[in-house]
A = this chain, B = another copy of it.
Amino acid sequence: VQLYFSPLACSLATRIALVEAGATAELTSVDLKAKRTADGADFLAINRMGQVPVLRTDRGDLLTENTAILQYVAEAFPDAQLAPRDAWGRAQLQQWLGFIGTELHKGIFAGLLDPRAPDAAKAHTRDKIALRFGVLEAHLTGREFLLDRFTVADAYLVTVLTWTIAVGPTLSDWPAVEAYHRRLLARPSVAAAIAIERPLYAEEQARRART
């Protein structure tokens, strides 16, 4: 498979899943500002939304949307056990993918990370943090992962929580979430994926500062 990614964007979740699966994948970085891929292609022709991740399957088909791509990777590499096999387990996985995608990623972080969002919009977004992190705190108290074992939902959640370093909130208000984040950052697949993307992120920031 081929994964279009941008350093430390939500495509990091798929990179973590690919590392977990031991998959050989082609990773192509995308400049989300210029909407160009590292090999010079027009990214809007690949994804009209201009968003990462985009996955190109071995058959050449394109798939967008993080929650769909993560489940595709889990299904493509079943030995890695990145998703439950039973119906109720899958429903719970989809529940958490939905919560992270809509309530955390779109509901909170997309707004806080958006450079064009007006201050009033950001303040309104911050009002939503307490309820949503309270739900996470209640669920993660006494748990190691969102489900019984590591799944693609954890790959997504640790990615989203990493953005708190840039835009808050401070996780110390939610000790179970903070401990979960620290634990997941120490997981080899997560540490390896971030170790690759952090310098790429720094390079991108430096390149943008120069232009």
Contact = CB atoms under 8 A, between A and B. Distances in A.
Central interface residue in A90, A101, A121, by most chain B CB within 10 Å = A121
A117 interface: yes
A163 interface: no
A91 B68 CA distance: 6
Interface in A133-152: 134-135, 138
A96 B63 CA distance: 10
A159 to B, nearest CB: 15
Nearest to A76: B87
Assembly of this chain: how many copies? 2
A65 interface: yes
B95 A63 contact: yes
A66 B117 contact: no
Interface in A40-93: 48-49, 57, 61, 63-68, 71-72, 75, 87-88, 90-92
Given A48-B134, A63-B95, A68-B98, 20 more contacts: A61-B88, A64-B98, A64-B99, A65-B96, A65-B98, A65-B99, A65-B102, A66-B98, A67-B97, A68-B91, A71-B94, A72-B87, A102-B102, A116-B124, A116-B127, A118-B120, A118-B124, A119-B120, A120-B120, A121-B124
Interface of A: 48-49, 57, 61, 63-68, 71-72, 75, 87-88, 90-92, 94-99, 101-103, 105-107, 110, 116-121, 123-124, 127, 131-132, 134-135, 138
